Chain A
């Protein structure tokens, strides 16, 4: 048992805003009683629930492709040295698995959601997730360009499509559904794209990206999946794409939806030269429609490697930058593109992107619906989150940074007019309580009795980036994992998955279609349950039992 006394607590899930309270921990959960055990004096310190990352790329074929493409970065970055209890690893743009766990925990994050997994290589993703220590994990499967499902929608077999969706989620041992450039990646298989909701999808006559987003959101709601459709919209990164994003939002009225990395989808103008922020317009619509959540996908200046299932976009980025290009098309399911990238403050487009990420976080007024992310590693690496927190909490610092932007950015962004500063309570919401709620992880991001004892204790510090970058203590499952920058323990995290219901005869329906499309045997395709270490199956709504996890 353990007691933490005197800390100032920010626990948005329970409405606790900066109150001094004691916390008791027993058996890895918060408890109402304390009999005996260690006491930690947190007087004068700030306590928040452990961070939850709703959208990151830390495990599987795509980030591993990114690692392969960037040895020059591994060579210059910080290195973790092995000990008898710790594995070695490298940080940087695409950290190795062990280092990923250390770096997330090192800044107080205790749950991460790997946002893009092809079912075909889900076995690989789980092997990597098993090698990420300390944090708990979940993953989303890429299904919005799955030709077997698209064929069924084309044939008007919506009910069957829903069943197949459920089958795929369980086959991948996954937690939900990610849609990337719906229809566009399918078109990319023949070198095309589908940029708008009414665009043609190569090989299909009756369905459009609009059909896919609308039907997928509905199917996911009907299956009772805890996390809504996790959507990377069409037309990412392009000037003027705000129209596509707004149109997508209109399509999704009446359904739940999570808009991933909204920063990349909030641009006006019609050319790189006149690209401008449309964050204000997007935020206005978003504020008025409470069916949606989003994560920022904020950009920070510096080097990174971009990684996405959006193959056609990455081909464009390769042509724009002339840098290394990795592409991996996955049969029947999805794609993957890798391009190293440097965001420069002197570059007008990059400067607009930097501003848009912050504008969305500041203009969306409900912190329960907008979450901190950089779409790691696309906008910046996850270990730079403390820098974003500083930008959100200090308007003066923001203004200082804006002085470095090109002069002609005037009238292209609205950031200079925004004076809002985040409070600690709001930071705890966008980094933990909010994303946990959106993921449907009710025992996360919450310091209430019976919830998982994942928490972080910070020194009060005027230097916000230092405060959030160097916690005094990090607890995972009631255990001290980080103490004053030292990694104390490296427990294995849990992995969350769901088993949505599908009719048992779906196997025999799917088999011939599968054998026609894939080049492995049907029996070898689903990931075996015993390959998931510390699996926790979460309930879908409509399941019999109450919420909470069960084995």
Chain B
């Protein structure tokens, strides 16, 4: 079994002499990433910076990030899992047939060369984006890549990291974990946390029409979710907290304008490597922060009678 073998971004800056981007396009989606954390930085261990690093891009098409890479490997769409599994076999000198390799759109020669370079690295890192984790195979693809990185540690130092985006999504993930044990897809409707992605994930709950209210903070599902989910948001009382008027605001019953976090409201942002960064507001805003609005709503709700009564303090086993 694999797991998650990773590091903070400073380790990549200081040590990574071999960097793979898989199914991501940081040149356009994470514009400061190359210069701040990975390619361009010089360090005690990599004094020549970019010249001391080898960069590989694996994607289904030649994006702008390919220009920043030394090697571009064009994988056939939907064949990421196969390619990763072949690499896992090849690093252990297991046999792989020509036909299996050909299916991925790459040649055995190219893959063997890649593995040689991976094993020769002193510190390798694999970043992966939604081109891997949100296409055919989804979390199985991510698991295959994480396992490859874990298994590479039999030969040399190797780590992997998802290229996350969308503001403070990592922060939400981190806090949900310490408060409920789970990162997302959580139901609290029995009075304690339960986890089931696919059942309790926001999109599934909305598509099934399982909620009679929606409270949206700092997200715009009205722009990105499938139509049945959006239709449900329009049907129930939806409340939006956002500095801007969004697609979701337009179909909501209430939009509360809040101060933008990090610009006019303080707080903590968790970077994609889970390093917490203090947010120091540079401007003043006439609007309240998200935190203040949520606190005031909570105080008001607390005045009402509890709807969940006669519950035990604890249950020994969950059902």
CB pair A324 B3 closer than 8 Å: yes
Of the listed residues A90, A131, A190, A339, the one surrounded by the most CB atoms of chain B closer than 10 A to its CB is A90
A128 to B180, alpha carbons, bound, how many Å?
Answer: 12
Which residue of chain B is the closest to A60 with respect to CB atoms?
B178
Q: Tell me which of A92, A325, A520 contacts B5 (CB under 8 A).
A: A325
A131 to B180, alpha carbons, bound, how many Å?
Answer: 12
Contacts of A120 in B (CB 8 A): 8, 10, 275
Binary flags per residue of B3-19, CB closer than 8 Å to A gives 1, else 0: 11111111101110000
CB pair A89 B179 closer than 8 Å: yes
Contacts of A21 in B (CB 8 A): none
Q: Does A83 make an interface contact (CB < 8 A)?
A: yes
| Stretch from A260-268, A328-336, A472-480, A500-508 that touches the partner | A328-336
Q: Does A75 make an interface contact (CB < 8 A)?
A: yes
Q: How far is the CB of A308 from chain B (nearest CB, A)?
A: 15
| Stretch from A63-71, A283-291, A377-385, A426-434 that touches the partner | A63-71
Contacts of A104 in B (CB 8 A): none
| Stretch from B89-97, B99-107, B227-235, B308-316 that touches the partner | B308-316
A315 to B195, alpha carbons, bound, how many Å?
Answer: 29
Binary flags per residue of A106-138, CB closer than 8 Å to B gives 1, else 0: 000000000000001101100110010000000
Q: Does B282 make an interface contact (CB < 8 A)?
A: no
Given A84-B302, A487-B313, decide whether A329 and B11 contact each other with a Cβ distance below 8 A.
yes
Q: Does B297 make an interface contact (CB < 8 A)?
A: no
| Stretch from A161-169, A222-230, A511-519 that touches the partner | A511-519
Q: Tell me which of B174, B194, B311 contacts A64 (CB under 8 A).
A: B174
Which residue of chain A is the closest to B279 with respect to CB atoms?
A524
List chain B positions with a Cβ less than 8 A from chain A: 1-11, 13-15, 36-37, 41, 43-45, 122-123, 150, 153-154, 156-157, 159, 174-175, 177-183, 188, 190-195, 268, 270, 274-278, 280, 302, 306, 308, 311-318
Q: Does A323 make an interface contact (CB < 8 A)?
A: yes
Contacts of B177 in A (CB 8 A): 64, 67-68
CB pair B3 A331 closer than 8 Å: no
Contacts of B316 in A (CB 8 A): 78
A332 to B43, alpha carbons, bound, how many Å?
Answer: 12
Number of A-B residue pairs having CB atoms within 8 Å of each other in the complex: 188
Q: Does A87 make an interface contact (CB < 8 A)?
A: yes
Given A81-B192, A97-B179, A528-B278, decide whether A191 and B153 contact each other with a Cβ distance below 8 A.
yes
In the complex, besides A67-B178, A517-B44, A520-B10, 14 extra interface pairs with C-beta distance below 8 angstroms are: A65-B4, A69-B4, A71-B181, A71-B195, A75-B194, A78-B314, A81-B311, A88-B188, A94-B181, A124-B276, A315-B153, A329-B7, A330-B7, A331-B8
Binary flags per residue of A468-491, CB closer than 8 Å to B gives 1, else 0: 000000000000000000110000
Contacts of B178 in A (CB 8 A): 59, 64, 67, 96-97, 127-128, 131
Q: How far is the CB of A97 from chain B (nearest CB, A)?
A: 5
Contacts of A82 in B (CB 8 A): 188, 191-192, 308
Contacts of B193 in A (CB 8 A): 74, 79, 88-90, 96
Which residue of chain B is the closest to A315 with respect to CB atoms?
B153
Given A121-B276, A123-B278, A519-B36, decide whether A67 and B181 contact each other with a Cβ distance below 8 A.
yes
A92 to B41, alpha carbons, bound, how many Å?
Answer: 43
Which residue of chain A is the closest to B157 with respect to CB atoms?
A191
Q: List 10 A-B contacts (CB under 8 A).
A: A67-B177, A67-B181, A96-B178, A120-B8, A120-B10, A120-B275, A325-B4, A325-B5, A326-B4, A519-B41
Q: Tell me which of A65, A79, A528 contacts B318 (CB under 8 A).
A: A79
Q: How far is the CB of A305 from chain B (nearest CB, A)?
A: 12
Q: How far is the CB of A424 from chain B (nearest CB, A)?
A: 28
Given A75-B195, A189-B157, A524-B277, decide whether A90 and B180 contact each other with a Cβ distance below 8 A.
yes
Contacts of B4 in A (CB 8 A): 65, 68-69, 325-327
Tell me the dominant secondary structure on chain A's binding face.
Answer: mixed
CB pair A328 B7 closer than 8 Å: yes
Which residue of chain B is the closest to A192 with respect to CB atoms?
B157
Q: Does A496 make an interface contact (CB < 8 A)?
A: no
Q: How far is the CB of A412 from chain B (nearest CB, A)?
A: 30
Given A89-B180, A97-B178, decide whether A76 and B318 contact each other with a Cβ distance below 8 A.
yes
Q: How far is the CB of A15 from chain B (nearest CB, A)?
A: 38
Contacts of A124 in B (CB 8 A): 174, 270, 274, 276
The 8 A-B pairs of least Cβ separation, nearest first, read A331-B10, A325-B3, A329-B7, A79-B192, A81-B191, A191-B157, A74-B181, A324-B3
A71 to B179, alpha carbons, bound, how many Å?
Answer: 13
CB pair A84 B306 closer than 8 Å: yes
CB pair A81 B312 closer than 8 Å: yes
CB pair B179 A81 closer than 8 Å: no
CB pair B192 A90 closer than 8 Å: yes
Q: How far is the CB of A189 from chain B (nearest CB, A)?
A: 7
Contacts of A487 in B (CB 8 A): 313
Given A84-B306, A329-B7, decide whether A519 and B13 contact each other with a Cβ distance below 8 A.
yes
Given A328-B8, A331-B10, A516-B43, decide whether A190 and B181 contact each other with a Cβ distance below 8 A.
no
Contacts of A191 in B (CB 8 A): 153, 156-157
Which residue of chain A is the closest to B43 with respect to CB atoms?
A516
CB pair B317 A326 closer than 8 Å: no
A98 to B181, alpha carbons, bound, how many Å?
Answer: 11
CB pair B43 A75 closer than 8 Å: no
Contacts of A61 in B (CB 8 A): 274
Contacts of A189 in B (CB 8 A): 11, 15, 123, 157
CB pair A88 B192 closer than 8 Å: yes
A128 to B178, alpha carbons, bound, how many Å?
Answer: 7
A331 to B14, alpha carbons, bound, how many Å?
Answer: 8
Of the listed residues A121, A327, A486, the one surrounded by the most CB atoms of chain B closer than 10 A to its CB is A327
Q: How far is the CB of B148 from chain A (nearest CB, A)?
A: 13
Q: Tell me which of B3, B15, B275 contacts A190 (CB under 8 A).
A: B15
Binary flags per residue of A327-366, CB closer than 8 Å to B gives 1, else 0: 1111110000011000000000000000000000000000
CB pair B13 A323 closer than 8 Å: no
Q: How far is the CB of A84 from chain B (nearest CB, A)?
A: 5
Q: Tell me which of A77, A98, A329 contacts B159 (CB under 8 A).
A: A329
